[in-house]
Structure 1
Amino acid sequence: MAPSARIVVFDLDDTLALSKSKIAPQMTERLLRLLAEKPVCIISGGRYEQFQAQVLEELPLTPELAARLHLMPTCGTRYLRWEDGAWRDVYCENLAEDEKALIIEVLTEGAKSLGLWAEQTWGDIIEDRGSQVTFSALGQQAPHQEKAAWDPDGSRRRALWEYASARLPGLEVRSGGSTSIDVTKKGIDKAYGMQRLLEFLELPKEDVLFVGDRLDEGGNDYPVRAMGVPCVAVTGWEQTVDVIDTILGDETDGPVPGLLDALDVR
């Protein structure tokens, strides 16, 4: 029983690890084993430095395994590959300085006018990620429990998304993580990153398996599903471990819903 996917693509926060946290030892072991069998891509709204802190520092990669790993920070607006002993840009779709200034102004005014500018925060509320500007209501380093409780029904993010979208018609505004709004160049989301990845690897979308926690309509993983890539929804990194175990042919505690269909396993 062998999965058909030729590359496995993962979201990062709440898929490979808790938001802004390092991957667990169990995930490190699974990723190393998976990389020994096939290429892996990580695509996330986070900046490259988050990939370093959350994944790369915990993943003892040999040059051979590193060459199989594809990194797509800031929702695929940037793409890095291992080359000549370092992670190097394949491309980077940076925003212009005037665009970033306008985005920061709109997000700040919107959050304050809607009552979403929190008094207690953990780290930067608005972060310039070069190719993306991100609003994080409680700050970049907020505890997972605080973030999960801030907007459980998505209404706060929806309100700020509507405010910013109306004032930034020439840019792409979308809900990011559990407390965040991301803004990039128009037409750039995770589907854009996935399409660029497929072009570079010369693969059809049917040869990909995407694993993410925000595949619901409006979630930042949804554009990947909408473009027709086989997808599996997870609720946290522990379930992603089960997904990888299934791909590797290991026994799991229970089936992950939709996984066998997405893998086209018979």
Structure 2
Amino acid sequence: MADPAGAATPSQLRHAEEVMGTVFSFDVRGGEPVAVKTALEEAVTGLHAVDEVFSTYREHSQISRLARGELTIEECDPEVAEVLELCAEAERLSDGWFSATYEGRFDPTGLVKGWATERAALHLVEAGVTGVSVNGGGDVQLCGVPGPQRPWRVGVSDPLRPGVLAAVVTAAGTDRLAVATSGTAERGAHIVDPRTGRSAVTDLVSVTVVGPRLTWADCWATAAFAMGSRQALAWLESLPDTEALLITAGDEVRCTGGLAARLG
């Protein structure tokens, strides 16, 4: 197949997988077909392995056993120590607005999904694909390009108008881009204020964060939502390689200064 300009269009492989209580969607472009198929299978297997280790709903997961004191970190898979360090870094950089501790129990699920999505995308990049999009429950890691002179584009839902887009983010000019949204439109008041242990009560209905890595974009969206719009916007502006779109319950849109360059 060729595009209208005559350039070859990369081969395409799509897959959807139910895991971690949500759906992960893969859109893979280019690469050697057999190697790409194998890498996709490995990436999917990796997601299920992450769920086995980190699910707080599984009584015998390593994270549940760690919380009960039945395992030490040294006895867990190496990924547990890696995620624990990432959670500590996220808490430090957000001044405690992102936390992996709830009611005295370590719960890294606020970081794990983004981290696992990013890791799955990078596994396919290592297999030689020219482009990959991995959507983990609405948060997306993009790498490469979907076709010649065609960047990846991600629609951001308007939380106050179902079925309408608030913005379209483009990955033009970068080899790696992530888009993560936290808010109340899809799952209600599920974001916890780590300073009170109760649902965060702010003027925001959604925060979308754009950056190179979904691990951090996902954490920053959660932390920013808990902060509220005024504090969140100033904090997000201070983070390197990070842009954001904030929408308040009063239908006010606030953006970081460099977001316009990412809108298509």
TM-score (norm 2): 0.26
Q: Select the structure of larger CA radius of gyration.
A: 2
* Bigger RCO of structures 1 and 2 (CA < 8 A, at least 6 apart): 1
